[in-house]
Amino acid sequence: MSRSSVITSLVITLVFFRLLVPTTSTDETLEALPATSEAVKRKWTYSYRKPDSKSKPAWSHKDPEAWIRKFPTCGGKQQSPINIQPNLTVITSYPNFKFHNYGFVEGMELINNGHSAAYNLPINYPKKKTPHISGGGLDGIYQFAQIHMHWGNDSSKGSEHLIKSKSYPAEMHLVHWNVKYGSFAEASKYSYDGLAVLTIFAKVVPEDNKSYQPLVEQLGEIIKNGDETILRKPVSLFELLPKRTSTFYRYFGSVTTPACQEIVIWTIFDKPIEISEKQLNKFRSLKDEVGDRMVDNFRPPQPVNDRTVFYRSHKVPDIPLSVTDPYSPFSDAYKWSKSTFKNYANRFWGMFDPPAHLRHAFCRTRPC
Ligand SMILES: [Zn+2]
């Protein structure tokens, strides 16, 4: 390879990796995300605003169109949530998810952050017991940080993601961060693989959901913005999951509250859990950041633009976690991942154009 072509290749590679680096500032990144003990010693929070603040809230679910003025990233091209059209998804082979330490979590912290009820993993939770996930097409290990919910004023709406333009009455988000970055704060600075959020839809049935009862029964203790308490009963994360976790949608998007950072690998399980109207009403009885009823705390769907939404079907055979060859028949599972690009770049250093079948998917899901 000539010297000039080496230099050209190097410049192209550097420009590409620059595109992968987030452009949001650290302050902006931390504003809307769960803080870690490194960032804020207090506790994990999500969109938390000090309740004693006299100033107008920085944002509200009542006027999501206004977010873009203060938080330009909210007008980005890879925003969440989205309206998923199953007939437009690409059926993909991913390994099954592995849920580690997903049994009972003791001493979860429950907080009214003005926008939702958030259940945080206690700080200093024993490392050995910390829940985390792997597989599912994720590259590496993602550690559990927090659960929060979105719900409607009534059960005709409430979820953030839509399936074929239809809402569910509620949507739960299990927020995880990529352990390779060492902390939540660090992980939230990196684009595209910093966070992995598992999304669980809830539908309404007459009977209470016993597994969700520990999350529901202390909501009366956090009615006001800033209220917080400790859950008396341990929560089994495993029992919060839908009965089937082998089928899900996958796409790359953003945090759904300001500052809308585009750092989330979304997993949307298509099988909902069941919850009663009575249990949902407990969430609806909370007060928001200005003292109004905390309802309709969901963001409307955002344009899909040129992103690909993948679907893991149980009809596609499971594949081992060790498959890393982007040219294998299972390359779909990896084509969106950073490791794929690295593998690709290593093989074809100096030749930027990927083969058409990879370029097509890659450029639709990542900056190219
Ligand atoms: Zn959420």
Residue 249: per-residue pLDDT: 98
Residue 133: per-residue pLDDT: 98
Q: Is the model's pLDDT at 16 over the cut of 80?
A: no
User: Which range has the worst mean pLDDT, 46-60, 100-114, 166-180, 328-342?
Assistant: 328-342
- Residue 149 C-alpha to ligand 1 middle, in angstroms? 6
Residue 10: per-residue pLDDT: 53
Whether 10 is in a domain gets the answer no
- Residue 345 C-alpha to ligand 1 middle, in angstroms? 34
Whether 207 is in a domain gets the answer yes
- Residue 288 C-alpha to ligand 1 middle, in angstroms? 15
Whether 362 is in a domain gets the answer no
Residue 191: per-residue pLDDT: 67
Whether 40 is in a domain gets the answer yes
Q: What is the pTM of this model?
A: 0.76
- Each residue's pLDDT tens digit, 78-124: 999 999 999 999 999 999 999 999 999 999 999 999 999 999 999 88
Distance in angstroms (rounded) separating the CA atoms of residues 216 and 95? 33
- Each residue's pLDDT tens digit, 211-243: 999 999 999 999 999 999 999 999 999 999 999
> Is-catalytic flag, 115?
yes
| Helices marked H in the chain | 3-20, 26-31, 67-70, 184-187, 213-216, 237-240, 277-284, 338-347, 356-365
Residue bearing the bigger pLDDT, 46 or 283: 283
**Contact 22/362 with Cβ under 8 angstroms?**
no
Whether 244 is in a domain gets the answer yes
- Residue 150 C-alpha to ligand 1 middle, in angstroms? 6
- Residue 338 C-alpha to ligand 1 middle, in angstroms? 24
Residue 319: per-residue pLDDT: 54
Name 143's bridge partners.
132, 177
Residues spanned by the domain of 181: 25-312
Whether 11 is in a domain gets the answer no
- Each residue's pLDDT tens digit, 166-197: 999 999 999 999 999 999 999 988 668 999 99
Q: Is the model's pLDDT at 18 over the cut of 70?
A: no
347 token code pair:
């093989």
Whether 349 is in a domain gets the answer no
Residue 36: per-residue pLDDT: 37
**Contact 147/134 with Cβ under 8 angstroms?**
no
- Residue 198 C-alpha to ligand 1 middle, in angstroms? 10
Residue bearing the bigger pLDDT, 262 or 333: 262
Residue bearing the bigger pLDDT, 236 or 39: 236
Name the domain count of the chain: 1
Burial of 340 (0-12, 13-18, 19+ CB in 10 A): buried
Q: Is the model's pLDDT at 41 over the cut of 50?
A: no
Residue bearing the bigger pLDDT, 23 or 258: 258
3 band by pLDDT with thresholds 50, 70 and 90: low
Q: Tell me the average pLDDT of the chain.
A: 80
32, 81, 110, 159, 170 from 150: Cα distances, Å: 15, 12, 15, 6, 6
CATH number at residue 123: 3.10.200.10
- Residue 148 C-alpha to ligand 1 middle, in angstroms? 6
Residue 143: per-residue pLDDT: 97
Q: Which of 61, 115, 173, 176 is catalytic?
A: 115
- CA dihedral in degrees (165, 166, 168, 172; nearest 10)? -20
Residues 6+ positions from 94 with CB-CB distance below 8 Å: 135, 136, 137, 250, 310, 312, 319, 333
Pairing mode, strands 104-105 and 235-236: antiparallel
- Each residue's pLDDT tens digit, 288-322: 999 999 999 999 999 999 999 999 987 766 555 44
**Helices 356-365 and 338-347 sit at what angle, rounded to 10 degrees?**
140
Whether 345 is in a domain gets the answer no
Q: Give the H/E segment covering residue 30.
A: helix 26-31
Residue 4: per-residue pLDDT: 56
